[in-house]
Amino acid sequence: MLKIKIGKTETEEKNRVVEGAVASFVETKAEIDRLNNALKSAKEILVEEAKEILGEDDVSTITFSVDDDKVQVSFGYDIKITDDEKLHKILDERFEDLVLTKFTIVPTKKLKEMALEDDGLAECMSVKEKAPAFKVVK
C-alpha cells in the first residue's frame, strides 16, 4: 500500500506503478551507495600509489592501465584568497596585475519569490525550474 505524506497529513492509496518506483528507487540508491564505497576504496589505493610513484616530481598526472582499462589520476590545488588586505600589502603594486576582482549580484529569497510571480522581474532575471531532489528517508 502506498502511503503519501504531505506535511503532517498522511493518506494511503493503491498505486502499483508508484509503489514499484519507490521500491526501485530505494534499491537503486542502495546499490549506488555500495558502488560509491567501492569506488572510494579504489581511489584511495590509486592515489596512494600515484603519490608514491610521483614523489616530489613536478608531474601532476599519472595513468595506470591494465589491458584496455585505463585510469588517470591528476593532482592539483584549489587556491583561494583568504586575506586580501594582507595579500595587497605583500604584493604592493603587483596586486592589480595578479588578482582578479569579481563583483556578484545575487537575488534574495524574497526577490526570487517575487520573480516567480512577476513577469516584469523575470525579464531581468534567469528563472529556471530546478530538477526535483530525491533522498531515501529511513
pLDDT tens, the chain, 138 aa long: 999 999 999 999 999 999 999 999 999 999 999 999 999 999 999 999 999 999 888 888 999 999 999 999 999 888 999 999 999 999 999 999 999 999 999 999 999 888 888 878 878 888 888 887 878 777
DSSP state of 56: T
Domain map of the chain by residue range?
1-76, 79-125
- Indicate the pTM of the whole model: 0.67
Grid coordinates of 71: 585510469
DSSP state of 135: -
Q: Which helix (H) or strand (E) holds 24?
A: helix 16-54
Angle in degrees, CA 71, 73, 75, rounded to 5: 170
Output the DSSP codes for 102-134: -------HHHHHHHHH-HHHHTTS---PPPPP-
